[in-house]
Chain A
Amino acid sequence: MGDFSIERGAADIARAVTAGSVSAADVVEAILSRVDAVDDAVGAYLTPLHDLARRTAANVDARIRTGERLPLAGVPLAVKDNMCLTGTRTTAGSKILEHWVAPYTATAVARLLHAGCVPIGKANLDEFAMGSSCENSALGVTRNPYDLVRVPGGSSGGSAAAVAALEATIALGSDTGGSIREPAAFCNLVGFKPTYGRVSRYGLIAFASSLDQIGPLTRSVEDAALTYDAMAGFDTMDATSVDREVEPSATALREDLRGLRIGLVRQFDTKLLGPEVDAAYRKAYDDLAACGAEIVEVSLPTADYGLATYYLIAPAECSSNLSRFDGVRYGLRVEAKDVQAMYEETRAAGFGPEVKRRILIGTHALSSGFYDAYYVRAQKARTLIARDFDKAFAGCDLIACPAASSPAFAFNAKSDPYSMYMMDYYTIPMSLAGLPALSVPCGWVTPPGGSVPMPLGLQLCAPQFAEPLLLGAAHAYERTTGHATQHSARVEAVSP
């Protein structure tokens, strides 16, 4: 057994495993020991995969011995539990799929396994990826590794907690309105949502199909770029995946921001977020300038309508997608006197309150008499929002703004649904426009009533398909500021 440091990044691990200085088996044993030590406290995983991890690691080592070159050789991977992996339980955090075993593997997962990743476990999430704190999971509680009394964010909360607590090196998340970027901000990670259609959604349990996109959560921009490069690209199994060449991002990382114009959004006033958070973001914008960027002001006049637009379109699509859970072919069934009652009782018992709320509002928005006033109007608003971004990008290369409306909050702090929805105020407009965007650590604040500093995330956003530019710039900011390394996760203190 080698003495492998679980803090090492994906690029570093892949080099070491490829060079033979450490085996994938040693890497995975070290990570599994970490999972055994801390996951009772963190709760990142719904289903740890010890046996599969060991078998896969042995297979990676065998592939390396035969001379195969694997860009992610031996890299421990957490998979959000709304993505299929053959033979493993895949729940979407819902009672309706609590015992469902996936009969096939999602394309994004398959491509990472092909690249040498080792799956460590299926990570917790808000039920069907609907939520911003992971509290909507029907199957488990996930805690923020930086302060266990706080949420990890959501919906990819288990993915974020796993990487932050060193229970995985990288994770897959999915982002519909901010579900990668917000938990990344809460857990001091890089969280990257590519352009809509860049990563195949085949095998991702659908929430809102015109918005859903898979992406990585990592401890560095370099690792995010490597992961993205390994899974992006056209897939015949997803008719909405984009058939367009993927330029590699890992080779586009930059050391400074000279020659780039970065737009600050006039309508996003960070003073509303409180003096400490405001000061942190002002510092972040100053740091972008110090890295060589030219800071300009841009206008997104309709961005303020993003939340209203999203909370019609996403629930409408959700109500349609989730109609497949009817107790007939898979998942939970509650027997009842006739088929109508069987549907109604199955869905009543299988879905949690947030999922029910979204199905109901979506059904309402699509129903006869309301369709034009709600759904069509929201689609038109979506057009206006996308146009605003087009105009803004005529005057800048990237847009910078907060990734979330606050640092990680305490459990049960957002009992009113709308206050939870507000967490994604800054991430939803980019999702509606299908733009690539990421969160990168940008500072620390001690929240009111909190006892330790919590991380903040800076969101950077680029035009469609400009992933290399986006990741390249984020790398320069990350390297120059070094915020992520200022504090460590505190799970040691409570591990047995």
Chain B
Amino acid sequence: MQSDSIDVRYVARLARIALTDEEVDRFSEQLGDLLHHVDALSELDTNIVAATAQVVESRNVTRSDERRPSLDRETVLEQAPRRQGNFFRVPRIIAE
């Protein structure tokens, strides 16, 4: 399996979480320790084993494409950190 190290700065960037230097150091140590523990899985012979994603029988669920009642728009928008009219307001994404 992999080594017990984790590039915490890189992973935090992927996960969209800003970390302080102190957090980077602490999480590197703690998560390296955890990875050391999970490396035990390499002792198992899993070559001919299927992966389990779901433990009870599951099937595809579909429904007809029809309008149904949904949450009230105003109730939902009231929870928005910022809104403008009937829209969620977000920071500028495309530069001018």
Contacts and interface: CB of A to CB of B under 8 A. Distances in A.
Interface in A129-180: none
B16 interface: yes
A360 to B, nearest CB: 5
A321 interface: no
Contacts of B61: 239
Contact of B80 (A330, A340, A378): A330
Interface stretch (A54-62, A99-107, A268-276, A443-451): A99-107
A348 B54 contact: no
A196 B76 contact: no
B30 to A, nearest CB: 6
Nearest to B93: A339
Nearest to A355: B17
A225 interface: no
A213 to B, nearest CB: 11
B27 A360 contact: yes
Interface string B7-44: 01001101111110001000100110111011111111
Contacts of B57: 242
Nearest to A335: B91
B55 A210 contact: yes
B52 to A, nearest CB: 4
A348 B53 contact: no
Nearest to B94: A339
A122 interface: no
A233 interface: no
A267 to B, nearest CB: 14
A308 B1 contact: no
A383 B50 contact: yes
Given A312-B38, A344-B18, A360-B31, A383 B81 contact: no
A360 B52 contact: no
Nearest to A370: B2
A418 B37 contact: yes
B46 A381 contact: yes
Interface bracket on B: 35 or more
A95 interface: no
A360 B38 contact: no
B72 interface: yes
Interface residues of A, number: 71
Nearest to A327: B81
A302 interface: yes
A311 B81 contact: no
A361 B19 CA distance: 14
Nearest to B31: A361
Interface majority SS (helix, strand, loop, mixed), chain B: loop
A383 B51 contact: yes
A294 to B, nearest CB: 28
Nearest to A104: B71
Pick from A312, A340, A359, A364 the residue with the most CB of B within 10 Å: A364
Contact of B16 (A101, A312, A344): A344
Given A103-B76, A308-B38, A360 B15 contact: yes
Residue among B50, B53, B55, B71 with most chain A CB within 10 A: B55
Given A338-B91, A367-B14, A379 B80 contact: no
A248 B72 CA distance: 36
B13 to A, nearest CB: 8
A370 B75 CA distance: 42
A348 B24 CA distance: 12
A330 B80 CA distance: 5
A427 interface: no
Contact of B79 (A242, A330, A374, A381): A330
Contacts of B1: 373-374, 377
Nearest to B77: A329
A356 B81 contact: no
B58 interface: yes
A183 B11 CA distance: 32
A433 B55 contact: yes
Interface string A328-345: 111111011111111111
Interface in A81-131: 100-101, 103-104
Contacts of A341: 18
Contacts of B53: 210, 379
Contacts of B58: 240
A348 B34 contact: no
A243 to B, nearest CB: 9
Nearest to B2: A373
Contacts of A282: none
A329 B33 CA distance: 36
A308 B19 contact: no
Nearest to A331: B81
A30 interface: no
Given A377-B41, A416-B33, 11 more contacts: A101-B78, A195-B56, A239-B61, A240-B58, A309-B41, A342-B90, A356-B17, A357-B34, A374-B1, A379-B52, A381-B41
23 contacts: A103-B79, A305-B40, A328-B80, A329-B76, A330-B80, A338-B91, A338-B93, A340-B16, A342-B90, A344-B16, A348-B19, A351-B17, A359-B15, A360-B12, A361-B31, A363-B11, A363-B14, A363-B15, A373-B2, A376-B51, A382-B52, A383-B49, A418-B34
Interface of B: 1-2, 6, 8, 11-12, 14-19, 23, 27, 30-31, 33-35, 37-44, 46, 49-58, 61, 71-72, 75-76, 78-82, 88, 90-93
